[in-house]
């Protein structure tokens, strides 16, 4: 699985080159151009998706190549048990880069964290995790669970 930007959108490409595309400006999410931006469960191109709405915000959970990938579309919601139970055990967490997102990150367990948006450097600096930008992140076969890896994708 690889994660990168293409045409100002975040792309999560499976091993079979099927793509989950997240437009963080419009908040639209699709699997191979099939919109999954409504609360529901989806299966397309061997990618499983579950979409939940809390406080009029959407949260996306994907099973891609045996990894649990989670997309948070906003940093302006109140953390509750209902939301936290949906997060579950996360391999890769994509969330808005902001100081508010630090609170989200601290309340969930994720092995890899990828902030997005124009304020991603603030998120990384707040956690003393500022790293060099990379064009592409390729998820390792086994993600270590005891240390969180922060990825700074170049847009």
Structural domain for 53, as ranges: 2-150
**Would you say residue 140 lies in a domain?**
yes
What is the per-residue pLDDT for 121? 92
Question: Is pLDDT at 142 greater than 80 in this prediction?
Answer: no
Read off the CATH number of the domain in which 62 is found.
3.60.15.10
- Per the model's pLDDT, the better-predicted residue between 45 and 147 turns out to be 45
Do strands 28-31 and 34-35 pair parallel, antiparallel, or not at all (unpaired)?
A: antiparallel
Question: Is pLDDT at 68 greater than 90 in this prediction?
Answer: yes
Cβ contacts of 35 within 8 Å, gap of 6 or more: 28, 29
What is the per-residue pLDDT for 130? 74
**Would you say residue 142 lies in a domain?**
yes
Q: What CA–CA distance (Å, rounded) separates 151 from 155?
A: 12
pLDDT category at 109 given cuts 50, 70, 90 is confident
**Would you say residue 81 lies in a domain?**
yes
Quick one: average pLDDT of 117-138?
92
Residues 69-95: pLDDT tens digits?
999 999 999 999 988 899 988 999 999
**Would you say residue 89 lies in a domain?**
yes
| Closest by CA position to 150, among listed 73, 99, 93, 74 | 93
How many structural domains is the chain composed of?
A: 1
**Would you say residue 155 lies in a domain?**
no
């Amino acid at each position: 699985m690889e994660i990168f930007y293409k045409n100002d959108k975040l792309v999560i490409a499976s091993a079979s080159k099927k793509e989950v595309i997240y437009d963080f400006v419009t908040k639209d999410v699709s699997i191979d151009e099939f919109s999954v931006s409504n609360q529901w469960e989806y299966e397309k191109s061997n990618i499983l998706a579950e979409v939940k709405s809390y406080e009029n915000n959407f949260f996306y959970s994907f099973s891609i190549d045996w990894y649990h990938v989670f997309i948070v579309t906003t940093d302006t919601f109140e953390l509750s048990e209902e939301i936290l139970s949906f997060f579950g055990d996360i391999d890769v967490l994509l969330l808005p880069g902001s100081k508010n997102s630090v609170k989200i990150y601290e309340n969930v367990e994720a092995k890899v964290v990828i902030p997005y948006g124009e304020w991603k450097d603030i998120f990384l600096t707040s956690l003393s995790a500022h790293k060099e930008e990379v064009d592409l992140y390729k998820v390792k076969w086994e993600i270590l669970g005891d240390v969180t890896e922060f990825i700074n994708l170049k847009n």
